[in-house]
Amino acid sequence: MLNRRQLLILPAGLALGSPWARANERLDPALRERARRGVDAGLHYLRGQQGEDGSVLRSVGITALSLRAFLESHRGYNEGDGPLITRQVEFLLSKARPDGSISESLQNTSYNTAVAMNALAATKNPKYKPVLDAARTFLIKHQIDEGEGYKPDHRYYGGIGYGGDERPDMSNVYLAIEGLKAAATDPQDPVWQRALVFVSRSQNRSESNDQAWAGNDGGFIYMPGWNPPEFDNGLGSYGGMTAAGLLSLLFAGADKNDPRVQAAYKWMTANFTLDVNPGTAKRHGIFYYYNALAKVLHAYGEDSFVDGQGQRRNWRNELAQKLLSLQAPDGSWANPDSRAWWEDRPQLVTAWSVIALEHVYR
């Protein structure tokens, strides 16, 4: 077996066999072990939140995020681990509806379906393919396009909303794109190009955004022409949506040379901070930001960057340290500074934080 010193002098590019081995080159080894223990504690907390039916708060969305956190952890949890996993799966399957959606109610159907698709896909169990196929069909039909009487020049075109809310937004588009990708949607399906129309119209980049309000800093806002008033930043770009927008661009087929991608990455790295939701002076939605940030920087594939002050930042080390510093003794996370968007609920925020840490050391 190679010792630590031998590992450090291996030639660049030599395969070590697993992504966990490669993660050692990107994340401080001691911090990686702390992050793994933090994930274990978070998962232990989530297990304690499961009801008799396997759900967390009887919510499809939060149960799906909890299940994904288990399935994507370094422990390799799967359905062979018994009720701890299978009851969560069964709860999600019990909420599959005839129209293909997966939801406990007629509210938030798109959101719930998208996160459930990610969780069910993470089981890698082929018997759930019919459910995933039906969910894919539901999300594609839910996308705003000619079927609902919208033409490509409308600002809503290509968007997806919560379901129950008729207006589309960048957050739901990002989650739907993530779910469609997890369900192996054909890269040639028109759903991707339609989504890119909406995504581009949510970016502050007038070269690719035909909306009159668009600025030119490259970041993203919540939906074309509107931001949540909680941020008090007008139509300014902010971190949570820029991370969501950049991941949407990448997953919908734009490559790293695409000017939209480059502009979003430049905004995110230039404005990098973990103390507030960048682009605002607020901590509203900051755990949503941490979760989306971890996923998009992992997908982008760069382990460090130079920020707007000329400092090189190792995002994996910094995000791991930040999340671990915010974890409660019982293994949970919650936002003590904001109740907006359920961030005061530890069941939701713990699932987000565990998934973020899993992407940090992946």
Q: What is the pLDDT of residues 36-50, one digit of tens each?
A: 999 999 999 999 999
pLDDT of residue 5: 34
Query: For 329-352, what is the mean pLDDT?
Result: 97
CA distance 21 to 8: 12
pLDDT band at 163 (very low <50, low <70, confident <90, very high): confident
pLDDT band at 98 (very low <50, low <70, confident <90, very high): very high
Query: For 78-87, what is the mean pLDDT?
Result: 98
pLDDT of residue 203: 98
pLDDT of residue 225: 97
Domain edges within the chain:
37-361
Whether pLDDT at 11 is above 50: no
Q: Give burial (CB, 10 Å; 0-12/13-18/19+) of 89.
A: buried
Q: How many helices (H) and strands (E) does the chain have?
A: 14, 2
pLDDT band at 24 (very low <50, low <70, confident <90, very high): very low
What is the average pLDDT score of the chain?
Answer: 93
Whether pLDDT at 4 is above 90: no
pLDDT of residue 26: 85
Select the CATH number that applies to the domain covering 37-361 from these four: 1.50.10.20, 3.40.50.2300, 3.40.47.10, 1.10.3720.10.
1.50.10.20
% of residues, the chain, pLDDT over 70: 93
% of residues, the chain, pLDDT over 90: 91
CA distance 111 to 173: 9
H or E element: which one contains 305? strand 304-306
CA distance 123 to 111: 19
Going by C-alpha positions, the residue among 66, 63, 87 that lies closest to residue 353 is: 66
Whether pLDDT at 91 is above 90: yes
Question: Which token pair is 77?
Answer: 């949890």
Chain segment 178-215, per-residue pLDDT in tens:
999 999 999 999 999 999 999 999 999 999 999 999 99
Residue type, 255: D
Chain segment 267-314, per-residue pLDDT in tens:
999 999 999 999 999 999 999 999 999 999 999 999 999 999 999 999
**What Cα–Cα distance (Å) separates residue 85 from each residue in 76, 79, 98?**
11, 6, 24
- C-beta atoms surrounding 15 within 10 Å: 8
Question: Which token pair is 19?
Answer: 């992504």
CA distance 6 to 4: 5
pLDDT of residue 242: 98
pLDDT of residue 25: 56
Task: Collect all residues with Cβ–Cβ distance below 8 Å to 121 and sequence separation of at least 6.
Answer: 128, 132, 182, 183, 184
